Structure 1
Amino acid sequence: MNTTTFDTLERAGSHTSPRVIRLNALDDVVIAIDQLVSGTAITSEGVTASGLIPPGHKMATRPIETGQPVRRYGQIIGFASQPIKPGQHVHSHNLTMGDFTRDYAYAHDARPTVRATEPAYFQGIVRDDGRVATRNYIGVLTSVNCSATVARAIADHFRRDVHPEALADFPNVDGVVALTHSSGCAVDSEGEGLKILQRTLGGYACHPNFAGVLVIGLGCETNQISTLLKSQGLKDNGRLRSFTIQDTGGTTQTIARGIELIREMLPAANAVHRESVPASHLLVGLQCGGSDGYSGISANPVLGVAVDMLVAHGGTAILSETPEIYGAEHLLTRRAETVEIGQKLVERIRWWEAHCARSGAAMNNNPSAGNKSGGLTTVLEKSLGGIAKAGSTNLVDVYEYAQHVDAHGLVFMDTPGYDPVSATGQVAGGANLICFTTGRGSAYGCAPSPSIKLATNTALWERQSDDMDFNCGEVLSGASITELGAQVFQMMLETASGKASRSEIHGYGQQEFVPWQISVIT
């Protein structure tokens, strides 16, 4: 499965009659674009709908016996739990998970990267060390939950909607944001959970989208600031300052101290300008949340085309959400640049299987209720549609959560499927832009990196356009995925150049900072 197969989708019907989409000749189902009522004839498939089939849901086109695999995208998405007749609705009542062999064929489909013939640029902010920012914030980070309140109070002092005078003389500063969390203490001081938190905070502390950063603690927490900074190779300097509530003398004095330090940082933070830089400086985190039956047909393939263009220009795309590539990982291992890279990906899958087993959970506990209402039945189906946003280029590396991403091309970062946790890891790894597809309608932002929302269907676009940046639902009416993908790539460049996304306009981004917690709380 790759993006090119989607540019010639087979459609039956018209705007005046029910429409369906066939994604692959091997498929046992088609996807309803319009609601199908019992008795509706789909002449191109030679079947008649038997019962109500909602938009985005699947209809069988051939008889399927109990236990037989059911295919969509030409791949197995589950197994029939009862006999299914042509024309019947295929969903959780008659489709279930099951084990099957996947051929990882490491690096079998790896191909030389095709480079763009014409360069692409955006207007970025070049830091003194050569790193390129897409935004220019000052951040307030916390070592522990106990310092969250003072961090928010410090950032609130500089809110333009409340205190417009605070940043009136600093128009080049995008704002002051507090990124707080609920961890940092009562955990194993040598455990993996604390290491992940420190790696995440370290990634944010040195993110190019921050012109300056305060790190504030309580003073007695497990996650000591001195240890945090040392573990990440960081030191207090002009752009990074740290202190604790206990050493400063309490809440009131800590807030006053933080405000004073940010005022000292503002002149240097404001002394920046945007300049033309190659698109190779873009690191884009790929997310999908509130997915539906259209996600793998419209928005994800459209984003996949944009990702291929980004990679052709030397940029980097970060695919994540390990539980949501489960069952489709073999399509990525085939694209791995080397056998070792493919094996690194499978190692992360095995870790998740063991992690779930220890917790009495299962990898097939996905999709969510909203996903199922939108037409997705199994994690296999969700995963196959999800990886479409990764385009078709080679997989060049695999990273653990919040690790610094230094490769160029398509990479994978091991994260949970929960969007705020996943995107937090991507930004910690260096993502300076997030592209987020949604079918049900997700409201999300990711300071200090802008987030672009791509709607999978026109109904969502019309209902929730206040939160959406781009309508990929036009694919369902015959628009070219390739052409829409080129438009999304252009939107990436414009957003990276400073154009505000819808989530930024609404002020999303501070509450969505959610580092992954895997440690035991004691």
Structure 2
Amino acid sequence: MSDTLKLHASDNVAIALNPLVTDVGGIKTQIPKSHKVALTDIPAGETVLRYGQMIGKASCFIPKGAHVHDHNLEMGAHAVDYDFSAAADPLPEAPKSRIFQGYRRDNGRFGTRNYLGILTSVNCSGSVARFIAEAAEKSGLLDDYPNVDGIVPIVHGTGCGMSNRGDGYDVLLRTLAGYAKHPNFGGVLLVGLGCEVLQLADLIGGQTLSTQGALRYMTIQQSGGTKRTIDKGLAELASLADFANAAYRTPAPVSELVLGMQCGGSDGYSGFTANPALGVASDLLVQHGGTSILSETSEIFGAEHLLTRRAVSPDVGQALINKLEWWVAYCDKHDAKMDNNPSPGNKRGGLTTILEKSLGAISKSGQAPLNGVFQYAEELTEKGLVFMDSPGFDPCSVTGQIASGANLIAFTTGRGSVSGYMPTPCVKLASNSELFSRMRDDMDINCGDVAHGTSLALKGREIFDMLIDVASGARTKSEHLGYGGVEFVPWQQGAVL
């Protein structure tokens, strides 16, 4: 078994599959596992290639056998050719349709879970939402409702002290509205304070509120304070549980699955094991008529040309570039740099520049054409592979994907991210076998074996099959651990007033 792996014929670095000790000019050099080693002498200023793509420039002379990392590699100036729609060939349809067992909702969408949600319009009602959920649990309210998966209080830190127009308000409204109509909720109780900027009436839009349906609401002020709101909330939850418990899993086409794809705590393995394996699973989902959402706009920077080539039209490609240009201007305005990402953990795992991280991250998207570009938490109007604008901060990005309709999440990690995202189940993919062994209680699938011969096609099929099982009710590791109580993190923009 080789100790290094060269990913592309034109690369001038390889990846260490084990800790290495090399001799560079008579000096012993230690290279950690998953980090880069120079395959040839690289002059100062020369482009460093991984995946056959530029990941930066040598900041000084790098001799053959040297450790290549942030001490001798910098991002450098880079230019890309967007070549809109040059490689937008559709994938062949799946020869045989797959099904999962899901919950059909009145609007025709399918859920993969059947939770009750307590959704708050403002931070001021967050504690009461939690009080209601805690009181319901203590009372055993759901004991007689076997088809209800649990109660999820959705609380956040805003909803007031903000303008009632503009990006900040619009983003929060889209996010909360997306959760209010999410198919993984069999019933939703809306709880407000009463005097906040984001009013419940604006939140529900044209959705129907009734004493019999899946959507109820109350305000603390109108209900008579905390204790009365808790009592009323318990009564409403009992009624919602009656309603939700009538739902049963029924066969549904895989085309009704909407997969949010994330990577967090990435390492040097992520870009050639877990991420491209997830890309294979994403392509399989697209071939079955389903939807995959790629996000984290700040983490495709430098690799966007690989997506614009697959855009189904120049307009779709340009929409992606417009998002990236907004992010560059946003960083300039706040004295930040796009290359501030990778994080310290990413760098300890072997990643050096945002170009390198982005090239690995984008491999989650597989080979499917890019069918659309959407705002954060925007309702999707296209199937297939789509892009949703978001920060690279995982909980925030996943929150937007769920608001856009994701009823499954697949999350790759090389360092060991831990999280869950109720009401949507999250499948965790370990990029390396050491992580999978060390954090076995948190990881669902080991992709580290790809580095040692398992094919991406085989691993992608394994991921795809598990996604269908989870959509049909199999519980993930993060669900067993109880994650999901603090990971609702809407993207906050705009002025705080």
Q: TM-score, with normalisation over the residues of structure 2?
A: 0.98
Deviates more, 1:266-275 or 1:482-491: 266-275
| Candidates 2, 18, 24, aligned match of 2:8 | 24
The answer to whether the aligner puts 1:382 opposite 2:394 as a matched pair is no
Identical columns (%): 52
SS at match of 1:511: coil
CA contact (8 A) 2:111 2:407 kept: yes
Q: Determine the C-alpha separation between the residues in 2 that align with 1:264 and 1:377.
A: 54
- CA gap of 1:325–1:197, structure 2 versus 1, over 3 A, is same
1:150-189 aligned at under 5 Å gives the runs 150-159=128-137, 163=139, 165-189=140-164
1:426 corresponds to which letter in structure 2?
Q
Q: Which residue of 2 aligns with 1:8?
A: none
Q: Which residue of 1 aligns with 2:388?
A: 413
Offset of 1:90 from its aligned partner? 0.4
SS at match of 2:129: helix
1:273 corresponds to which letter in structure 2?
Y
SS at match of 2:293: strand
CA contact (8 A) 2:23 2:65 kept: no
2:244 corresponds to which letter in structure 1?
A
CA contact (8 A) 2:180 2:204 kept: no
After superposition, the C-alpha distances for 1:410-434 in whole angstroms (9 at most, x for unaligned) are: 0000000000000000000000000
CA contact (8 A) 2:31 2:67 kept: yes
CA RMSD of aligned residues (A): 1.4
2:195 corresponds to which letter in structure 1?
C
Q: Which residue of 2 aligns with 1:106?
A: 84
Offset of 1:368 from its aligned partner? 0.5
Deviates more, 1:237-246 or 1:96-105: 237-246
2:313 corresponds to which letter in structure 1?
T
| Candidates 119, 122, 129, aligned match of 2:100 | 122
Q: Which residue of 1 aligns with 2:45?
A: 67
The answer to whether the aligner puts 1:38 opposite 2:22 as a matched pair is yes
2:117 corresponds to which letter in structure 1?
G
1:99-498 aligned at under 5 Å gives the runs 99-159=77-137, 163=139, 165-230=140-205, 233-237=206-210, 238-498=213-473
CA contact (8 A) 2:425 2:479 kept: yes
After superposition, the C-alpha distances for 1:293-339 in whole angstroms (9 at most, x for unaligned) are: 00001000110110111100000000000000010000000000111
SS at match of 1:104: coil
CA contact (8 A) 2:220 2:226 kept: yes
Q: Which residue of 2 aligns with 1:3?
A: none
Offset of 1:277 from its aligned partner? 1.2
Q: Determine the C-alpha separation between the residues in 2 that align with 1:189 and 1:169.
A: 42
CA contact (8 A) 2:22 2:66 kept: no
SS at match of 1:141: strand
CA contact (8 A) 1:49 1:87 kept: no
Deviates more, 1:66-75 or 1:492-501: 66-75
CA contact (8 A) 2:436 2:446 kept: yes
Offset of 1:49 from its aligned partner? 9.3
Q: Which residue of 2 aligns with 1:4?
A: none
Q: Determine the C-alpha separation between the residues in 1 that align with 2:57 and 2:230.
A: 58
SS at match of 1:52: strand
1:74 corresponds to which letter in structure 2?
G
CA contact (8 A) 1:49 1:59 kept: no
Structure 1: segments with no counterpart, 5+ residues: 1-13, 41-46
Q: Determine the C-alpha separation between the residues in 2 that align with 1:252 and 1:341.
A: 51
Q: Determine the C-alpha separation between the residues in 1 that align with 2:256 and 2:26.
A: 52
Q: Determine the C-alpha separation between the residues in 2 that align with 1:61 and 1:179.
A: 51
CA contact (8 A) 2:48 2:55 kept: yes
- CA gap of 1:332–1:251, structure 2 versus 1, over 3 A, is same
After superposition, the C-alpha distances for 1:321-360 in whole angstroms (9 at most, x for unaligned) are: 0000010000000000111100000000001011111111
1:438 corresponds to which letter in structure 2?
T
Deviates more, 1:25-34 or 1:127-136: 127-136
Offset of 1:48 from its aligned partner? 10
Q: Which residue of 1 aligns with 2:55?
A: 77
Deviates more, 1:385-394 or 1:246-255: 246-255
Offset of 1:510 from its aligned partner? 2.2
After superposition, the C-alpha distances for 1:370-418 in whole angstroms (9 at most, x for unaligned) are: 0000000011100000011110110000000000113110000000000
Q: Which residue of 1 aligns with 2:492?
A: 517
Offset of 1:509 from its aligned partner? 1.0
Offset of 1:227 from its aligned partner? 2.4
CA contact (8 A) 1:38 1:48 kept: no
Q: Determine the C-alpha separation between the residues in 2 that align with 1:190 and 1:349.
A: 24
Q: Determine the C-alpha separation between the residues in 2 that align with 1:116 and 1:423.
A: 28
Offset of 1:272 from its aligned partner? 1.4
Aligned length: 495
Q: Determine the C-alpha separation between the residues in 2 that align with 1:228 and 1:494.
A: 33
Q: Which residue of 2 aligns with 1:56?
A: 34
Q: Determine the C-alpha separation between the residues in 1 that align with 2:166 and 2:155.
A: 21
Q: Determine the C-alpha separation between the residues in 2 that align with 1:181 and 1:223.
A: 13
- CA gap of 1:50–1:26, structure 2 versus 1, over 3 A, is farther
Offset of 1:234 from its aligned partner? 2.7
Q: Determine the C-alpha separation between the residues in 1 that align with 2:428 and 2:487.
A: 15
Offset of 1:155 from its aligned partner? 1.4
Q: Determine the C-alpha separation between the residues in 2 that align with 1:259 and 1:149.
A: 15
Structure 2: segments with no counterpart, 5+ residues: none
SS at match of 1:364: helix
Q: Determine the C-alpha separation between the residues in 1 that align with 2:458 and 2:159.
A: 46
After superposition, the C-alpha distances for 1:110-166 in whole angstroms (9 at most, x for unaligned) are: 10331010111111111122211100001011111111100011112333xx55x32
Q: Determine the C-alpha separation between the residues in 2 that align with 1:48 and 1:345.
A: 49
